[in-house]
Amino acid sequence: MYEFVSGPLVWVAFIVFIGGMIIKTVGYINLSKKKDKVVYNHLNLDWSMRSIFRWLIPFGSRGMRENPVLTIAGFVFHICLLAAPLFLLGHNILWDEAWGISLWSMPDGVADWMTLFLIAAAIVLIIRRVVLPEVKIVTTSTDYILLAIACAPFITGYMAYHQWMDARTITIIHILCGELMLIAIPFTKLSHMILFFLSRAHIGSEFGERRGTVTW
Amino acid sequence: MAEAAVDTTEDQTVDTKVIKERLDLLKGGRFKMWLEICAHCGLCADSCFFYLAHDKDPKYMPSYKVMKTLGELYDKKGDVDRATLEKMAEVVYGDCTACRRCSMFCPFGIDIATMIAAVRGICCSQDLHPAGLKAAIQNYKDTGNQMAMSSEDFVETCEWMAEETAEEFRGLEIPIDKQGARIMYTVNAREPKFYPQDIAEAATIFHAARENWTMPSNGWDDTNLAMFAGDGKTMAAQVKLVYDAAERLGAENIAITE
């Protein structure tokens, strides 16, 4: 079982994730070139870049400044989401053993803290979904499920590292959770990972070039 | 909500085929992506003055309005009854002005207001746009302006204003259909109809600036209520009318009032 989830299933997960996102992204760009011609008359990538940049830094936009709790929770969540798996020693050892490549690794204690911060941020996100009426009204079960799918690799990863139960079992579960998350990305709103850049590029140019105003 | 924003037309049915066609047309590029990546974060709420003015009633928040209209149309593949479509028309004509503030506040830059406008187009295709806009659209089709003013009446009004204003500003003219002007000036149709002094005042400015300007005898209305209604065809035709006038007169620039 361990060999299966850490072998062939990894291939499947990454092919679906990377291949899926490439197909999606390229697909949308091509579709857009055909159906959104009005956008390309005045496309200004300078305005696009500025819009993207302002929304990638904490409090870079007015919306972020007016919603500080969400901004902090969102940035903590996303930074830990990306940094912990990429720079985890355990993961990089696996990459090194398989392909002879690896990234810089952080101390395990730091990774531990990142995991806990991510879970805390996720709790904030859940609370605001339940408590704020304007968020509750647009919330569907999918929103909770996707948050669970995103957090599961971290919770199980923490458990695996600290060996809270039989190491082999929890590690298998952790790997499965990670693979589930990767596979879910191209098929759900998690695709905003890449598509955020496309939609911001459009609106940044639309408002900047054609209206001379900012989108942050 | 006070009065209904739209006419109820119980005797008419819904042309699902037309709705489906429009949904398919829209579902290319931006629209498809926007509906997919909306994270349901709720940040658009505070940007919407309808939401704020209604004491933060969540039913008025932008992404909810889209979910209940465009979202539902896609879910049901356009197969909705007239009563449902009428309710949607109430939302997109009565609970939103498509000001696009929500589009500026969305973290993903989703153009929420444009999706509302797209639903207006669908409602318009089913004759569900507000009565006042219907009347204006008919006027555009008949006379090229929303006030159903004839070219003769328009030119006469301009001549009258020029005469009156020239008493105070010697040599002032309101040139109609002058060739090769630097500025072709267009107005809101209510100006010649109800507030001709606005045209006189603009003429005063042009006169003082010694501007080379003109107004066309036809194609002088720069409003476009067809756009508000979601009637894409009439909207385009009205814009073309103004543009063609500028081309015909060889004008360098088109200036709009307001």
ipTM of the complex: 0.92
pLDDT computed for residue B7 by the predictor: 56
Distances in Å between the Cα of B83 and the Cα atoms of B3, B11, B70, B77, B88 are 16, 11, 15, 16, 9
Positions of chain B with pLDDT under 50: 1-3
Distance in angstroms (rounded) separating the CA atoms of residues A24 and A191: 9
pLDDT of amino acid A207:
94
**Of A144, A181, A131, which Cα lies nearest the Cα of A9?**
A181
Q: Which of residues 36-55 of B touch A (CB under 8 A)?
A: 36-43, 45-47, 51
All residues of chain A having their beta carbon less than 8 Å from the beta carbon of residue B43 are: 63, 67, 70
Domain ranges of chain B: 16-128, 144-256
Q: Per-residue pLDDT tens, chain A, 216 aa: give them.
A: 899 999 999 999 999 999 999 999 999 999 888 888 888 888 999 999 999 999 999 999 999 999 999 999 999 999 999 999 999 999 999 999 999 999 999 999 999 999 999 999 999 999 999 999 999 999 999 999 999 999 999 999 999 999 999 999 999 999 999 999 999 999 999 999 999 999 999 999 999 998 899 999
Which pLDDT score is estimated for B1? 45
What is the nearest CA distance from B195 to chain A, expressed in angstroms?
29
Dist CA B34 CA A146 (whole Å): 18
pLDDT for residue A121: 98
Amino acid type, A193: M
Whether the Cβ atoms of residue A128 and residue A69 lie closer than 8 Å to each other: yes
Query: For the domain with range B16-128, which CATH number is right: 1.10.1060, 3.90.25, 1.20.1300, 3.30.70?
Result: 1.10.1060
Task: Record the pTM.
Answer: 0.88
Asked whether B5 and B59 are in contact (CB, 8 A), the reply is: no
For chains A and B, CB pairs below 8 A equal: 114
Spell out the CATH class of A2-211.
Answer: mainly alpha
To the nearest 10°, the Cα dihedral for A170, A174, A175, A179? 150
